Structure 1
Amino acid sequence: PPPPPSAPSSGPHTDRVLKPIPAVIAVTKMNASPLEALLTSMNAPVAFTGFLVALLILSPEGLGALKAVLNNQVQRAMNLFFGSVLATISLTVPVVTLIAWATGNDLVFGLGAPEMVVMVASLVLCHISFSTGRTNVLNGAAHLALFAAYLMTIFA
C-alpha cells in the first residue's frame, strides 16, 4: 500500500517570504535618504513620498494586470489587482510597521478629511462596481476620476 500523505509544511514557504526582508530593508535604507533629498529639493509634498513608495510596491502586480487587460484577460487582471491589494494590506503594512518600530521611527496612518472623503467614495464605488458582477467604461472612468481626486489631495 502507498504511504499515507503527509501534512503540508509551511516552513519552506515562510522561509522564502522572510529571507528577502533584510535585503529589502537594506536597499530601502540606502535609497530613502537620496529620494527624500530629491523630493525636498523639488518642494514635493510629504504625502507624495508615500505615493511613490506605494507605486513601487504595487508596480509588479499592476504591470502584470495591465498586460492582462491589454490581452483582454479580464479575470486574470482582476485577480492580479485584488491580489496586489491583499498583499499590500496583509504583508506590506505589517512589515513597514515592524520596521518603523524596530528603527524607532514614527509611523502615522492618519488621513485628513479630504483623503477620508476620497477613500469612502472609493469604497462605495468599488461596492457598486463589483457587487453586480459586471463593470463598464463608466465605472472605470469614475474610478479614474477618484484617483485624480486623490492626486489632487496630495498636491493641495
Structure 2
Amino acid sequence: MLNINDIKKPIAAEIDVFEGKFKASMRSSVPLLDRITHYIVKRKGKQIRPMFVFFSASISGGINEATHRGAALVELLHTATLVHDDVVDNSYQRRGFFSINALWKNKIAVLVGDYLLSKGLLLSVDNGDFGLLKIVSEAVKQMSEGELLQVEKARRMDVSEEIYYEVIRQ
C-alpha cells in the first residue's frame, strides 16, 4: 500500500519549494501573528490540496509560478477555514495538537483566520490571478452557505436527505 510520501515523490521538489513560499506568504510585522503562523506551519497536515494543484498542473501544461501561487492560495484558504471551524465547533484540538482558539482564544483565532484568508486573496490580486480568485471566492461562498445551512438544520432537526447531501456538497 502506498503511503503519502510515495504519492508525493513525483512532485517532492515542488512541494519543498512550495513549503518555503507558503511560510513566506504568512509573514507579518506583528510578532503575535508570526508566532501563531509559525505554530500553524510546524503542525502542517498532509498537504493534499497543494498536491492536487501540482499534479493537476503537471498533466495540463506544467508547473510554474502561478501554480505555486494557486497552491499557496488553496492552502491558506484551507488553513483559514480550519481555524474558523475550530472556533465555530468549540474544538480545542486539531490533528492532536491544541487549536489556535484553545491557545489564544476565539477573538485571536478569528482574526488569524481572516488574516490567512486575506493573505491568500492578496496573493492572487497582486499577481493578476483573477480566474483563480473567482473560483476560490465561489468555493468560499458555497462553504459558508453550507456551514450556515448545517447550523440552521441542526437546530431545527428537520434535515431531509436532499438537504443533507447539499450540506455535504457545499
Bin of the TM-score, shorter chain as denominator length: 0.3 to 0.5
Q: TM-score, normalised by structure 2?
A: 0.33
Max radius of gyration: which structure?
A: 1
Normalised TM-score (structure 1): 0.35
